Amino acid sequence: MLETPVLCKRIPTWPWGDPADRAYVDYDAFVDTGGYVALKQALDMEPKQVIDAVKSSELRGRGGAGFPAGLKWSFLPPEDGQRRYLAVNADESEPGTFKDRLLLDFDPHQMLEGIAITMHACRLDTTYIYIRGEYHAQAKATQRAIEEAYANGIFGKNSKLGKINDRWPECVLHRGAGAYICGEETGLLESLEGKRGWPRVKPPFPAVAGAFGRPTVINNVETLAMVPPIIEHGAEWFKSMGKGRPDGAPPSVPASFGPKLYGVSGHVNRPDVFEDDLGIPMSTLINEHCAGMRNGKAYKAAIPGGISMGVLGPDEMDAELDFDIGKKHNCLGLGTAGVIVMDEDTDMVMVARNIARFFAHESCGQCTPCREGTGWMYKILLRIEQGGGTTKDLDLLLELAGSMGAMPGTTICGLADGANWAVRTILNKFWDEFASRVSVDRSVSLPVVGAGH
In this predicted structure, what is the pLDDT of residue 254?
Answer: 87
Question: Model-level pTM?
Answer: 0.94
Residues of the chain with pLDDT under 50: 453
Domains of the chain, start order: 19-240 (3.40.50.11540), 256-335 (3.10.20.600), 348-435 (1.20.1440.230)
Instruction: For the chain, give the secondary structure using H, E and C.
Output: CCCCCCCCCCCCCCCCCCHHHCCCCCHHHHHHCCCCHHHHHHHCCCHHHHHHHHHHHCCECCCCCCCEHHHHHHCCCCCCCCCCEEEEEECCCCCCCCHHHHHHHHCHHHHHHHHHHHHHHHCCCEEEEEECCCCHHHHHHHHHHHHHHHHCCCCCCCCCCCCECCECCEEEEEECCCCHHHHCHHHHHHHHCCCCCCCCCCCCCCCCCCHHHCCEEEEEHHHHHHHHHHHHHCHHHHHCCEECCCCCCCCCCCCEECEEEEEEEECECCCEEEEEECCCEHHHHHHHHCCCEHHHCCEEEEECCCHHHCCECCCCCCCECCCCHHHHHCCCCCCCCEEEEEECCCCHHHHHHHHHHHHHHHCCCCCHHHHHHHHHHHHHHHHHHCCCCEHHHHHHHHHHHCCCCCCCCCCCCCHHHHHHHHHHHHHHHCHHHHHCCCECCCCCCCCCCCCCC
How, if at all, do strands 338-343 and 259-266 pair?
parallel
In this predicted structure, what is the pLDDT of residue 445?
Answer: 52
Q: How far is CA 309 from the centre of its chain?
A: 11
In this predicted structure, what is the pLDDT of residue 453?
Answer: 47
